[in-house]
Amino acid sequence: AQTVTQSQPEMSVQEAETVTLSCTYDTSESNYYLFWYKQPPSRQMILVIRQEAYKQQNATENRFSVNFQKAAKSFSLKISDSQLGDTAMYFCAFMTPNFGNEKLTFGTGTRLTIIP
């Protein structure tokens, strides 16, 4: 079974700073997808960024980028120039693209607070 670990329950940074959220996972699969989801307070969960395991290049979406280390089974999220709107719970998630088993396995989340 796959597991996802987020070792930082809470983090806080000053606005405009850069912050990195950690995520490690355990799997015996070679083909899989990794995701970071953001859940703002009392608001909908939204997808931040996606990484395919067979792609060596790290994914980037505007101020959000990942550091994907496949051998180390590490998938960290870097938020540059943090903004107040980045305050949210961040969940790391794992999925294997196997027909009939396409479920997301989530980590426990990191509560990120951006301080004005």
Partner 1 sequence: KAGVTQTPRYLIKTRGQQVTLSCSPISGHRSVSWYQQTPGQGLQFLFEYFSETQRNKGNFPGRFSGRQFSNSRSEMNVSTLELGDSALYLCASSPSGRARSYEQYFGPGTRLTVT
Q: Looking at this protein, which amino acid is placed at residue 94?
A: F
Instruction: Give DSSP secondary structure letters for 55-92.
Output: --SPPEETTEEEEEETTTTEEEEEE-S--GGG-EEEEE
Considering only 9, 30, 41, 43, the residue that binds partner 1 (CB under 8 A) is 43
Size of the site for partner 1 (CB under 8 A): 23
Identity of the residue, 63 or 103, whose beta carbon is nearer to partner 1 in the bound complex: 103
Q: For residue 33, state whether it binds partner 1 (rule: CB under 8 A).
A: yes
Neighbouring C-beta atoms of residue 62, cutoff 10 Å = 10
Identity of the residue, 44 or 57, whose beta carbon is nearer to partner 1 in the bound complex: 44
Considering only 16, 46, 84, 115, the residue that binds partner 1 (CB under 8 A) is 46
Considering only 28, 85, 101, 116, the residue that binds partner 1 (CB under 8 A) is 101
The residues, any chain, with a CB within 8 Å of residue 55's CB and separated by 6 or more, are none
Considering only 37, 68, 75, 90, the residue that binds partner 1 (CB under 8 A) is 37
Residue 17 CB, nearest approach to partner 1 (Å):
27
Closest to 19 in 3D by CA, of 62, 94, 92, 83? 83
